[in-house]
A and B are shown apart, each in its own frame.
Chain A
Amino acid sequence: MALDTVAIAQANPDTTQPFAELGLKGDEYARIKEILGRRPTSSELAMYSVMWSEHCSYKSSKVHLKQFGEKAVKTDALLVGIGENAGVVDVGQGYAVTFKIESHNHPSFIEPYQGAATGIGGIVRDILTMGARPIAVMDPLRFGPADAADTRRVLPGIIAGVGGYGNCLGLPNIGGEVVFDETYIGNPLVNALCVGVMKHSDIKLAKAAGAGNLVVLYGAKTGGDGIGGVSVLASETFDATGPAKRPAVQVGDPFVEKVLIECSLEIFSEDLVVGIQDLGGAGLSCATSELASGGSGGMKVELDRVPLRDATLSPEEILMSESQERMCAIVEPKNIDRFLEICKKWDVTVTVIGEVTDGERLEITWHGELIVDVPPRTVAHEGPVYNRPLAKPEYVDRVNAEKISVPRPETAAQIKETVLKLAATPNLADKSWVTSQYDRYVQGNTIQSQPDDSGMVRIDEKTNLGVAIATDANANWSYLNPYEGAKLALAEAARNIATAGAKPLAVTNCLNFGSPEDPGVMWQFAESVRGLADGCLEMGLPVTGGNVSFYNQTGAVAILPTPVIGVLGVIDDVRTRTPMSFDRAGLELYLLGDTADDLAGSEWAYMHGQRGGKAPIADLQREMRLIDLLVVGRTSQIFTAAHDLSQGGLSATLTEMVLRHNIGAVIDIENVGTTLISESPGRVVVAVTPEKAAALKNLANKQQITITKIGTTGGTSLIINGADISLTELRKAHTETFSKLFG
């Protein structure tokens, strides 16, 4: 194909262009022409197509996401908010923490190992770009039924990819989720979270300020992988009969990324960059346009200077390539020699590809010919915005009206059978088969990791300051009531860090949904965002950023609405955290919170093929009082252990607690047919020594949290209302599932 320049575009305004194949709609193409006052060159068309894709432009979600800003709480903790690569939160002692979660769903379905690996790689670079040292990752994952053939294809590859890349970067994997549901078959969800730490003064932003400053590309060379990934892959519904899309999946090299991290941190420590951006989705198109529009707007780039892995790449392909492990920095001329020297030390390829100008245009040349001349803001930030039609789907009222009818465990035999079945079901079974493929120890600061309620890392070895993070989604509840579902997921994630005694501080999210072109899906999305925004406002937690993944559907079947909510909290002394389980006999066990007949959306109902009923209504005021109780209880050292109740209810919580240190418990509960399996939100089981029981009761009364004594620890069995389940038998049920399924 002959080179298409700005001059040619002006001379030949009527050339037919493949905008539709690049994922642009007719009116979007017309808008580009209007902005430029001419047809775009093929390079400009490539840039607009990737940057205006759903994945990069948030064109369907923007009108809803702005609630996170409008309803935001006033807080001094938020140092950098939504819009940058990741939000930054003040955690005290001069430290700032940045964290973010992103999806890599579609690539992971097509090529599980590389899709998942580059998902980790991308989110880690987002965190690095803020100036932070990445310190941990987490991976909320969702798959089709555990015994489905395609799950056996994608799950082992995705786990190996998450581990292969994360382990090689030296980042401890401190938690995540593995959830199975038939709606995820064909659309597995691979969400990846990374957290990083820095000093306040080290925060970096994506802006290209200062005419004459240099645009520097460093890291891996650019290849043909991932071309059009964002537009073709992330923004279109899979069609079972469509062509193979594997060439659009990126291929990662974690070794290059590890070196890039260390090289970048050395560069940051000497304060050698004015602005920085990683190259992820939309590659150079994104990095150049975002950096330019983050500054004064003017930038000149000589695209032919970009080092290539494949010399035959066209300028359009170079602009769209999503080759991994690349960064783009803005460097003052006086610092460039030192910058190049550090890259040389780390054997990192580095090239000055352009400079910041005092104009307002992003100009890109190819061997001296002008091929791109655009206002960068129109590429990066002024993409189309859709107010897509939304309508409450007909299913909602129908399923909400359904009554749950499941077997109730009443006799000793039924109690035992229920506990063993819940312990073994894939959604609740022991996940060691997965987590043993991840390094949780590297960096030497991991305090908690799976199967704890939250991941916790120490960030200062002298003061023992630490952060805790949990991610949660309850898609069953979101399906029944997306507004409450989002609030409940937020409350659960917050509770999961509070059980260890950490104080919730900020929220990130990864919103996984079906096609936004379906008004029913759009309604689910809008309700989820509204619920999350309202919930965060009520709990006083700022949303620091997030990610939207649409088009998770095959044909007309969308995934369950799956807003994955991540909550980050701070703990002043990790040595005083409350562990998830007890390691001795003679402790008293209490249930905090109220248990109602909440079986809608529960694991027990799901195991009996029932998806109907009404989701619980979130009581965030009570959740906040419970969180206070847990944090105060930790600082005053009341608890020996505390563990959240969620999927699988009290049965699952007790199973996990007794197996952790192989210490049994004797439990006596009223209304066992409900209490054992209900998933009422806002509940925690705590273990205390008898001497602390009075203090615990005082604290519960003060916070108006219902407290019920349910038993004592000890023995070699979990005994519930006389039903004796030996720990050996329980462990066998809990731990065999994954190795049987996946080998």
Chain B
Amino acid sequence: MKVGVVTFPGTLDDRDAARAATHAGTTAVSLWHNDADLKGVDAVILPGGFSYGDYLRCGAISRFAPVMEKIIDAANGGMPLLGICNGFQVLCEAHLLPGALTRNHELHFLCRDQKLEITNNQTAWTSSYKVGQEIVIPLKNGEGSFQCDDATLAALEGEGRIVARYVGENPNGSRNKIAGITNERGNVVGLMPHPEHAIDPLTGPTADGLAFFTSVLNAMVK
């Protein structure tokens, strides 16, 4: 199974995402922002970073990259797509997911080991978790506060589309402590914290993040 990892100019966690995908037993394929070809991949990860310097708004320029056109089509056709951090911001800008990520309420970049509760294991990226399972993975961003209007929030809550919530103190002011959400179909997931940095306790706080990548492998094998 091939997982594409997109590199935009300014992407930082592409090698980490590829390492995590490889660790989980998939084959990582790098995709360049300027290519209009998905190289036959079965799933795609939009990794973290500061694509196009986060100029204008985080993710606002990346959504227009040539590779995104193909990715949006494929995602609308059901292909698993995970946006991590800056990738989540790109998914919101591309309207594959609702809402927006705004500046952290304390106005600082914040890097810390964050406890999350998995609240939906019916997506392509979370099926290896149990609902209610608590995991610790790194959170690191300046614009991670998830915001949306009341109707959208009600829909996300009502349809069980909140994939993960922050446990304990709200680190960034996200509505309802939302750390990650999914689309109606469950193939597109956006997540602010970084599971790719938690695949081995040697280099991360835990190995709790690996199951995001084994989940997609399971989803495809099914």
- A contact set with B: CB distance below 8 Å: 160, 163-164, 167-170, 253-256, 258-259, 262, 345-347, 432, 435-447, 458, 461, 574-575
Other-chain residue from A170, A347, A436 in contact with B110 (beta carbon distance below 8 A): A436
Taking A170-B49, A258-B50, A447-B203 as contacts, is the C-beta distance between A441 and B111 under 8 angstroms? yes
Is A255 touching B9 in the complex (CB atoms < 8 A)?
A: yes
CB distance from B159 to the nearest CB of A (A): 32
How extensive is the interface on chain B, given as a class?
Answer: 20 to 34
Given contacts A442-B12, A442-B13, 10 further A-B contacts (CB under 8 A): A168-B10, A168-B50, A169-B12, A255-B9, A255-B50, A258-B50, A440-B111, A442-B197, A444-B16, A444-B196
Residues of A close to B108: CB separation below 8 A: 160, 436-437
B19 interfacial contact with A, CB 8 Å: yes
Residues of A close to B111: CB separation below 8 A: 435-441
Residues of A close to B175: CB separation below 8 A: none
- Expressed in whole angstroms, the Cα–Cα distance for A590 and B130 within the complex equals 44
Is B204 touching A441 in the complex (CB atoms < 8 A)?
A: yes
Residues of B close to A442: CB separation below 8 A: 12-13, 16, 140, 197
Which one of B13, B109, B138 has the greatest number of beta carbons of chain A within 10 Å?
Answer: B109
CB distance from B202 to the nearest CB of A (A): 6
Taking A255-B52, A441-B140, A441-B197 as contacts, is the C-beta distance between A447 and B9 under 8 angstroms? no
What residue of chain A has the Cβ atom nearest to residue B200's Cβ? A444
What residue of chain A has the Cβ atom nearest to residue B138's Cβ? A441
Q: Mark B92-122, 1 if CB is under 8 A from A, else 0.
A: 0000000000000000111110000000000
Other-chain residue from B10, B15, B50, B140 in contact with A444 (beta carbon distance below 8 A): B15
Q: List 21 A-B contacts (CB under 8 A).
A: A164-B109, A167-B109, A168-B12, A258-B50, A259-B9, A259-B10, A262-B9, A347-B9, A436-B108, A437-B108, A437-B109, A439-B109, A439-B140, A441-B111, A441-B197, A442-B16, A444-B15, A444-B19, A444-B196, A447-B203, A575-B202
B53 interfacial contact with A, CB 8 Å: yes
CB distance from B95 to the nearest CB of A (A): 24
- Expressed in whole angstroms, the Cα–Cα distance for A439 and B54 within the complex equals 16
Which one of B10, B13, B196 has the greatest number of beta carbons of chain A within 10 Å?
Answer: B10
- Expressed in whole angstroms, the Cα–Cα distance for A346 and B52 within the complex equals 11
Residues of B close to A439: CB separation below 8 A: 109, 111, 140
B165 interfacial contact with A, CB 8 Å: no
CB distance from A633 to the nearest CB of B (A): 20
- Expressed in whole angstroms, the Cα–Cα distance for A574 and B9 within the complex equals 31
CB distance from B170 to the nearest CB of A (A): 15
- Expressed in whole angstroms, the Cα–Cα distance for A453 and B66 within the complex equals 46
Top 8 A-B pairs ranked by shortest CB distance? Answer: A255-B53, A170-B12, A441-B197, A444-B16, A168-B50, A441-B138, A437-B109, A439-B140
What residue of chain B has the Cβ atom nearest to residue A435's Cβ? B111
Query: Which chain B residues (31-86) contact chain A, with CB distance < 8 Å?
Result: 34, 49-50, 52-55
Residues of A close to B15: CB separation below 8 A: 443-444
Is B112 touching A458 in the complex (CB atoms < 8 A)?
A: no
CB distance from A158 to the nearest CB of B (A): 13
Is A436 touching B12 in the complex (CB atoms < 8 A)?
A: no
What residue of chain A has the Cβ atom nearest to residue B18's Cβ? A444
Taking A447-B203, A574-B202 as contacts, is the C-beta distance between A253 and B16 under 8 angstroms? no
What residue of chain B has the Cβ atom nearest to residue A446's Cβ? B203
Is A447 touching B12 in the complex (CB atoms < 8 A)?
A: no
B161 interfacial contact with A, CB 8 Å: no
B177 interfacial contact with A, CB 8 Å: no
CB distance from B64 to the nearest CB of A (A): 14
- Expressed in whole angstroms, the Cα–Cα distance for A692 and B109 within the complex equals 43
CB distance from A175 to the nearest CB of B (A): 14
Is A447 touching B202 in the complex (CB atoms < 8 A)?
A: yes
Is B112 touching A436 in the complex (CB atoms < 8 A)?
A: yes
- Expressed in whole angstroms, the Cα–Cα distance for A169 and B12 within the complex equals 7
Residues of A close to B203: CB separation below 8 A: 441, 444-447, 458
Q: Mark B2-19, 1 if CB is under 8 A from A, else 0.
A: 000000011011011001
CB distance from A195 to the nearest CB of B (A): 16
CB distance from A152 to the nearest CB of B (A): 15
CB distance from B185 to the nearest CB of A (A): 30
- Expressed in whole angstroms, the Cα–Cα distance for A458 and B54 within the complex equals 29
Is A255 touching B10 in the complex (CB atoms < 8 A)?
A: yes
What residue of chain B has the Cβ atom nearest to residue A169's Cβ? B12
- Expressed in whole angstroms, the Cα–Cα distance for A497 and B138 within the complex equals 25
Residues of A close to B202: CB separation below 8 A: 447, 458, 574-575
CB distance from A8 to the nearest CB of B (A): 43
Is B16 touching A258 in the complex (CB atoms < 8 A)?
A: no
Which one of A262, A347, A441, A461 has the greatest number of beta carbons of chain B within 10 Å?
Answer: A441
- Expressed in whole angstroms, the Cα–Cα distance for A190 and B18 within the complex equals 35
Is B9 touching A346 in the complex (CB atoms < 8 A)?
A: yes
- Expressed in whole angstroms, the Cα–Cα distance for A440 and B55 within the complex equals 23
What residue of chain B has the Cβ atom nearest to residue A464's Cβ? B202
Residues of B close to A253: CB separation below 8 A: 53
- Expressed in whole angstroms, the Cα–Cα distance for A440 and B197 within the complex equals 10
- Expressed in whole angstroms, the Cα–Cα distance for A160 and B104 within the complex equals 14
Is B110 touching A443 in the complex (CB atoms < 8 A)?
A: no
CB distance from A17 to the nearest CB of B (A): 41
Residues of B close to A164: CB separation below 8 A: 109
Residues of A close to B196: CB separation below 8 A: 444
CB distance from B195 to the nearest CB of A (A): 11
- Expressed in whole angstroms, the Cα–Cα distance for A106 and B30 within the complex equals 42
Residues of B close to A345: CB separation below 8 A: 34
- Expressed in whole angstroms, the Cα–Cα distance for A439 and B111 within the complex equals 6
CB distance from B179 to the nearest CB of A (A): 16
- Expressed in whole angstroms, the Cα–Cα distance for A441 and B114 within the complex equals 13
Other-chain residue from A167, A254, A438 in contact with B53 (beta carbon distance below 8 A): A254
- Expressed in whole angstroms, the Cα–Cα distance for A574 and B138 within the complex equals 21
CB distance from A313 to the nearest CB of B (A): 24
- Expressed in whole angstroms, the Cα–Cα distance for A582 and B96 within the complex equals 46
What residue of chain B has the Cβ atom nearest to residue A345's Cβ? B34
- Expressed in whole angstroms, the Cα–Cα distance for A169 and B50 within the complex equals 9
Is B197 touching A255 in the complex (CB atoms < 8 A)?
A: no
Residues of B close to A461: CB separation below 8 A: 19
Is B112 touching A170 in the complex (CB atoms < 8 A)?
A: no
Taking A163-B109, A346-B9, A441-B140 as contacts, is the C-beta distance between A255 and B16 under 8 angstroms? no
